[in-house]
Amino acid sequence: MRPNFKEEELQMSQLLQNIQDLLQSFLSSLGGQISLNVMFVIYVIAGVFLVMYGFSCYMSIYLFLKNSRRVRLSDRKNILQFYREHSLDEMPIVTTQLPVFNEANCVERLIDAVCAIDYPRDKHEIQVLDDSTDECYEVTKRKVAEMAAKGYNITLIHRVNRKDYKAGALKEGMAVAKGDFLAIFDADFVPEKDFLLKTIPYMVMDPKVGLVQGRWGHLNRMESGLTLAESIGIDGHFVVEQSARSWGNLFMNFNGTAGVWRRQAIDDAGGWEGDTLCEDMDLSYRSQLAHWKMKFVFDVIVPAELPGDINSFKAQQFRWAKGSIQTAIKVLPRVLKSDESIKVKIGAFLHTTHYSIHPCMLFTAVFSLPLLIWYEPVKGLPTWMFIVGFGGIFLAAIAPSVLYFVAQRCSGYAGWKMRVLSFPILMALGVGIAVSNTRAVLAAVFGLKSSFVRTPKKGAKALSHYKQKFPWLAVMELCVGVYCIYGLLAYIGAQKFIIGPFIGLYAIGFLMVGVLSFMHYVSNIIEMHKEKKNQQ
């Protein structure tokens, strides 16, 4: 029997009309035309911000390509010259701080790697700053005792109040640290043996350098499509953006790990403060306002573990998004009032407020449909205006992908051409986390409190006993994804084919992240059940 396509088409049309009527009733209850006017203003503002942040990617690419060869060659020559003129006996005392919280899976790997760093033992102090509330503390205590018995200068500092979280732990450790230089590594990092030998010389050669930041590498890039996409995003930040800021004489930030601070730069900035979730960015900006220089070293790579679970990744992004906006609210007024150049001020604004792109994406996704259907000024616009407007939006929309392409091409990692094929996953992921990150941005703007949520790591033991909360936000992500599908059909029906692909990408992104959130949550429960069963 042949299918009745006409009947199915009528049914679909009726369904779309019912949804449209429902939306219209909802808008009417909110004030009809007034609501549409407000939506249009927000939509335009969001679009302008998306274009602005998109085109800033092109500026980062320009600064990176302009300075890359010159700076990297200069750095290599300076390191060689330093070791021609200095011996290891002349190296300064360094304290390496390892802030840890419930990291039983990977704390031993971290301590082993740091103890293996090639630096004079009598000039290398190691502090394990363990605030753990689970079995990690006992694991850490045993490992520290083991390495101390082998002759390493390593101590354990354990807090029970967790005041100011990571910032508080670093501050407490710094108070008793012997070194004038403080290297910091998070629990999921595995520094190479020559890390200090490749970073400390820059601080010795230039007394105005307050921070030397290394580049993040990846331990589990090829574990899954998710980790591959995450690695490309991180490469974009470190290969291009951090290079551009450092080499272009803009303000840059410490990334919380894989870097070395000068104690005096921290003191002059007012010390570690725990009133934001991005204490690293906060301290970096305050230090640069105190006229300390930040240096990014492209060729010093420190491998780290990427979150293999979408819910862990979203928690990490939530922390970074909220912390960045908190930092912007806190320090950006001081930057704008300072005597820094206009270029630095614009760069600082775009840098600290970067996560605003997520509410902008969410607003454009949600408001596109009602504006198309009911907003007469939009419905009456000629096609050429859509082409010009969305031409600019298109150039801005592809800017991050161009940046990621340049980053992969110039990263020095083999196989970059194959990784480029995973860009669609990264694009969908970047859109899909907009719901979660919008919540983070709004929480920062309205001063809502939230605790420091750690990002669980598998580490060397691949344990999975860290319980996750039910992903309620994934329900909203799925709803927005379905809504965007309807919006896509509406735009196609109105023959507005220019914006259709954007709405389609939104639909794919929200649905992908929502589905993965539930899948990984269920997988985590199953793994926990298996683990408990094996222990019995």
Q: Is residue 252 part of a domain?
A: yes
Beta bridge partners of 97: 127, 184
Lowest mean pLDDT among 7-16, 146-155, 160-169, 255-264: 7-16
- C-alpha 312/C-alpha 308 separation (Å) is 8
Catalogue the active-site residues: 131, 280
Residue-wise pLDDT for 18-41, tens only, equals 555 555 565 555 454 557 778 888
Q: Is residue 1 part of a domain?
A: no
10 Å Cβ neighbour count for 68? Answer: 17
Strand order in the sheet with 209-218: 154-158, 124-130, 94-100, 181-184, 259-262, 209-218, 293-304
Residue with tokens 């520094």: 191
The CATH number for 230's domain is 3.90.550.10
| pLDDT on residue 23 | 55
For 216, the 3-state DSSP assignment is: strand
Residue with tokens 């096609």: 383
Element (H, E) at 212: strand 209-218
Mean pLDDT score, 156-179 = 95
Residue-wise pLDDT for 282-313, tens only, equals 999 999 999 999 999 999 999 999 999 999 99
Half-sphere exposure of 533 (CA within 13 A, CB side): 6
Lowest mean pLDDT among 15-24, 476-485, 522-531: 15-24
- C-alpha 519/C-alpha 77 separation (Å) is 50
463 pLDDT band, cuts 50/70/90, is very low
Q: Is residue 343 part of a domain?
A: no
Residue-wise pLDDT for 97-131, tens only, equals 999 999 999 999 999 999 999 999 999 999 999 99
499 pLDDT band, cuts 50/70/90, is confident
Residue of higher predicted confidence among 271 and 464: 271
Mean pLDDT score, 476-486 = 93
| pLDDT on residue 370 | 82
For 95, the 3-state DSSP assignment is: strand
451 pLDDT band, cuts 50/70/90, is low
Model pTM score: 0.90
- C-alpha 453/C-alpha 165 separation (Å) is 10
Start-to-end C-alpha separation, the chain: 58
Residue-wise pLDDT for 204-250, tens only, equals 999 999 999 999 999 999 999 999 999 999 999 999 999 999 999 99
Query: With 50 as the cut, is the pLDDT of residue 464 above it?
Result: no
Q: Is residue 498 part of a domain?
A: no
Beta bridge partners of 99: 129
Residue of higher predicted confidence among 435 and 5: 435
Query: Tell me, what DSSP letter sits at residue 121?
Result: G
Label the pairing between strands 209-218 and 259-262. Answer: antiparallel
Residue-wise pLDDT for 43-99, tens only, equals 889 988 999 999 999 999 999 999 999 999 999 999 999 999 999 999 999 999 999
Contact in structure between 372 and 491 (CB atoms under 8 Å): yes
Residue of higher predicted confidence among 163 and 495: 163
Counting the structural domains of the chain, the total is 1
Among 294, 298, 392, 271, which Cα is nearest to 347's? 294
Residue-wise pLDDT for 314-350, tens only, equals 999 999 999 999 999 999 999 999 999 999 999 999 9
Residue-wise pLDDT for 398-417, tens only, equals 999 999 999 999 999 988 88
Range of the domain at 234: 90-326
| pLDDT on residue 453 | 65
Query: With 80 as the cut, is the pLDDT of residue 169 above it?
Result: yes
391 pLDDT band, cuts 50/70/90, is low
Residue with tokens 């390191």: 79
Contact in structure between 247 and 71 (CB atoms under 8 Å): yes
- C-alpha 352/C-alpha 460 separation (Å) is 34
Structure token pair of residue 199: 């970073």
Print burial letters for 412-422: b (CB count within 10 Å at least 16), e (below 16): ebeebeebeeb
- C-alpha 247/C-alpha 74 separation (Å) is 12
For 302, the 3-state DSSP assignment is: strand
Average pLDDT value for the chain: 89
Percentage above 70 pLDDT, the chain: 86
| pLDDT on residue 462 | 47
Angle at 454 between CA 450 and CA 455, to 5 degrees: 130
Angle at 142 between CA 140 and CA 148, to 5 degrees: 100
Which phi and psi angles does 107 have, rounded to 5°? -65, -35
Angle at 182 between CA 242 and CA 210, to 5 degrees: 50
